[in-house]
Structure 1
Amino acid sequence: MIARHESDVVVIGGGLFGAFTGLFLARRGLRVTLFERGLIGAEASATNFGNLRLHGRSARQYPLSIRAQALWESYEALTGETCEIERTGHLYFARSDEGAQTLRHDVATAQRFGVTSTLLEGDQLHARYPFLAADIALAAFSPRSAVANPRLSTPPVARALQRAGGQVYEQAEVTAVEAVSGGFVLQTRQGHRCAAPVLVNAAGAWSGALAAQFGEAVPMFSAGPPQFVTEPLPYRLHPSVHMVEGDVIVRQIARGNIIFSGYPRTHSQPGGAVTHVPPFKTLRGMQMLARAIPMLARAEVIRVWSGVEGYLPDMLPVIGASSTTPGLFHAFGGSGGGFQIAPAVGEALAALIAGEAEVPMLAGYGIDRFAGAAEVSGKIHREFDALA
């Protein structure tokens, strides 16, 4: 039996971009239906490091990032639940001259947008953070930056969407999308048929195929960082610690486990089904971690994983209206930084869809910036393995 739905907006994708967009639309009184081919929040939204960082953003992204941080700080009020958000602060350190230059630039950029980020050098740095290796001479601390448990972050948003009147379907893979007069008609493999005047493409690393269907091919590719977690250890690492050059991103949770992420990221398998972590990357990660924080040299790794994340060459997401199809909106390509900005992406896109006003913070994120660029081109950042 086919289940039929009539909605104002249908969202494809149950990650944070899709769930927050649906939530803010439903709270405006719109009828929202969200389809997720697997489980809510089970892909990139769940497998990332969990950073809520306000340091190291591009100047273009700070308006979104600052608004998003305020929404994360009110997450419990928004959803009625928690996802282990902790304002640990983030400590960034540099090992190279190039890294030091980047760090100073990032501090200046953060301060320009009113975000506190303080440089620490030499004896002052090591008196405050004695766990850092003695040869690290420059760091910066961003006190408002925080962390969350990514595995717990998306389901509460989806449940809040349902309480606001939205419909959420898991294990509902969309197999056909057709633009018709006045909107779109969708069919799922499980028998749902949904019609709506507005369609939101928030299918994560798989969004490119849907965009291409409407004549908007983008040079997106799928990858994920090598990540691992150690045995529980005495709790000594209070801030989240980041190496500017990207080789070490590490934090300790209250239970004592050390969570690690780092570069270079690994490209996903063909079709984007999975991203493997080669064993040498785990070994290299432990070596880099021990160099930066010697007290962790003998930590035992107990689990390794990665995710399937969508990346674009400019390392910025696509957010906004389609350039070819009225009623179609995109929200995908978080490019490794999408977790933190997700609440603001959803809020801003909902305002755009509802036609409430201009949304300046979405300027520059349109899909039209990739018009005619179907292949990955230009400089690929050092944090990725070379493209095959």
Structure 2
Amino acid sequence: MSPPVQKVVSNPQLPKKVDVVVIGGGIAGVSTAFFLARRGISVALCEKGEIGAEQSSRNWGWCRTLSRDPRELPLAIESLRLWRQMNAMTGRETGFRQCGILSLCATEAEMADARRADDEARLYQSDARMIGPEAIQALVPGTDRPWIGAHFAPSDGRAEPALAAPAIAEGARDAGACILTGCAVRGVETKAGAVSGVVTEKGTIACQSVVLAGGVWSRLMCHSLGLRLPQLNVQGNVMRTAPLEGGPEVSVRGRGFGLRKRLDGGYNIAYGLSNEAQIVPDSFRYLFDFLPRLMIERKSIRLRIGKRFLQEVLDARKWGMDEVSPFERTRILDPKVIQSDMDAALRNLRAAFPVFDKAEIVESWGGLIDATPDAVPVISAVDELPGFFLSTGYSGHGFGIGPGAGRLTADIVMGAPTVVDPAPFSFNRLRKGSKPVLKQDLRRNSLQSQGIGGAN
């Protein structure tokens, strides 16, 4: 089931020419359009379906610095700063509230991971800190588990995925952007080896630059352009409750559950212990890119063969500009929820917080997450095609860092000084034959170089 998303009405006419075309109306795409338009750049955003209707409305709704990959932390900190201003900047409700995020620890192994994350956070002047059982009880009274400690980021927050991307898209339109829904981009035109325009199902738009922020669809678009983007999809699942009295205000995760309070007084609940990845033809094409990560995360990623294998075998990987593209045949991805994950999440949550025994589940949904081999996004120019930029592969972290990612992408497109160092997000790091730098390796090297923590 697809969660309800605030409707964004399309501009009625296709512009003949703009400076930049953004492909994709998720949180990364609309944020890019927003920050470009606010700087006087003419922008058209093309979305094949509806704004925010795929993973940008299907995530947990967390806006966090807590437990980030060190490469993402500066961007997460900038994003949190922007989230605090986003209601005022867009003139609309995004649902952002500063509530704090709490990661509960029941075992010494979980405490060790939390301490390592805390060491990293202190390198960036984060206000995250370790807390003990008494402080946990003060933050989340009513928990029924003997937690031995937790990692807490009081400045972290939450926003409403069903409201945020539409609000930012409307803010971009207020600043002059053209927002086009039900308008799939079939391909990119070039002249003298550089971007010169895009061909949509409704006609051609001339432009100097293109930003591909297509989420799980980015890999297919890149392939049609002769670009190799190692990206695979994993499925996450979320459910929501009716309004519930007495639940936590702070967002919380523990082993086998995650939650955040909604504006309507209900809660979003997720499993958080593992995600499912269906085996598809690209699983074999990118096997050696993803193998190091799969070996480390083999307990948290479940592999299976389903109907998507045949679907992707049958989907065209090349098509003509005058032909219906795969983007038009599937306007909105709406995978069937994995009910066993939802059952486990609710069971684990009720064991930890008995107040949820009386929670009424209203609906649940699945969403496909665009993942890279190192679980870090690509926010980058593409050397092979001047004028072409990527903003994709957010690996389940994209909603929270969406505003900062949009600002960084706008900086890169304009050739302006960047708000954070873009090097960790370079497309070149994913070249065939390169070895992905995983969080575990980066964490060990970073802490050793700073003299913090151990090499565990």
TM-score (norm 1): 0.90
C-alpha displacement of 1:287: 1.5
Report the CA distance shift for 1:365/1:232 in structure 2 as closer, same or farther (over 3 A): same
CA distance in 2, matches of 1:209, 1:380: 26
CA distance in 2, matches of 1:140, 1:379: 22
CA distance in 2, matches of 1:289, 1:373: 42
1:37 matches 2:48: yes
Kindly report the root-mean-square deviation, in angstroms, between the aligned alpha carbons of the 2 structures.
Answer: 2.4
C-alpha displacement of 1:4: 5.6
What per-residue deviation string (whole Å, max 9, x for no partner) do you get for residues 137-181 of structure 1?
111221101001110001121112222222111000112322223
What per-residue deviation string (whole Å, max 9, x for no partner) do you get for residues 189-219 of structure 1?
2x22111111111111101112223333222
CA distance in 1, matches of 2:103, 2:439: 23
1:136 matches 2:147: yes
Partner in structure 1 of residue 16 of structure 2: 5
1:47 matches 2:107: no
1:265 matches 2:275: yes
Q: Is the 8 A contact 2:407 2:419 kept in 1?
A: no
Matches within 5 A, 1:370-385: 370-372=430-432
Partner in structure 1 of residue 158 of structure 2: 147
1:194 matches 2:254: no
C-alpha displacement of 1:301: 2.1
Report the CA distance shift for 1:167/1:124 in structure 2 as closer, same or farther (over 3 A): closer
Matches within 5 A, 1:59-98: 59-98=70-109
Local SS of the residue matching 1:60: coil
C-alpha displacement of 1:21: 0.9
TM-score (norm 2): 0.77
CA distance in 1, matches of 2:32, 2:369: 19
Q: Is the 8 A contact 1:267 1:275 kept in 2?
A: no
Amino acid at match of 1:351: D
Q: Is the 8 A contact 1:83 1:148 kept in 2?
A: yes
Report the CA distance shift for 1:76/1:369 in structure 2 as closer, same or farther (over 3 A): same
1:349 matches 2:359: no
Local SS of the residue matching 2:40: coil
CA distance in 1, matches of 2:250, 2:259: 9
C-alpha displacement of 1:255: 3.4
CA distance in 2, matches of 1:14, 1:124: 41
Amino acid at match of 1:258: Y
Partner in structure 2 of residue 386 of structure 1: none
Partner in structure 1 of residue 196 of structure 2: 184
C-alpha displacement of 1:358: 5.2
Q: Is the 8 A contact 1:313 1:380 kept in 2?
A: no
CA distance in 2, matches of 1:143, 1:102: 19
CA distance in 2, matches of 1:242, 1:233: 18
Local SS of the residue matching 1:308: strand
Local SS of the residue matching 1:30: coil
Report the CA distance shift for 1:88/1:342 in structure 2 as closer, same or farther (over 3 A): same
C-alpha displacement of 1:360: 4.5
Local SS of the residue matching 1:74: helix
Report the CA distance shift for 1:127/1:83 in structure 2 as closer, same or farther (over 3 A): closer
What per-residue deviation string (whole Å, max 9, x for no partner) do you get for residues 63-99 of structure 1?
1111111111000222111112111111111123221
CA distance in 2, matches of 1:38, 1:325: 26
Match of 1:252 among 253, 261, 282: 261
Q: Is the 8 A contact 1:235 1:252 kept in 2?
A: no
**Structure 1: stretches of 5+ with no match in the other structure:** 382-388
CA distance in 2, matches of 1:78, 1:307: 28
42-51 or 276-285, which moves further after superposition? 276-285
CA distance in 1, matches of 2:127, 2:17: 47
What per-residue deviation string (whole Å, max 9, x for no partner) do you get for residues 3-51 of structure 1?
5611111111111111111121122222111110001111111111110
Report the CA distance shift for 1:74/1:379 in structure 2 as closer, same or farther (over 3 A): closer
CA distance in 2, matches of 1:177, 1:254: 40
User: How many residues are aligned here?
Assistant: 376
CA distance in 1, matches of 2:366, 2:372: 18
Partner in structure 2 of residue 384 of structure 1: none
Identity of aligned residues (%): 27
1:315 matches 2:388: no
Q: Is the 8 A contact 2:270 2:342 kept in 1?
A: no
C-alpha displacement of 1:111: 2.2
Partner in structure 2 of residue 221 of structure 1: 232
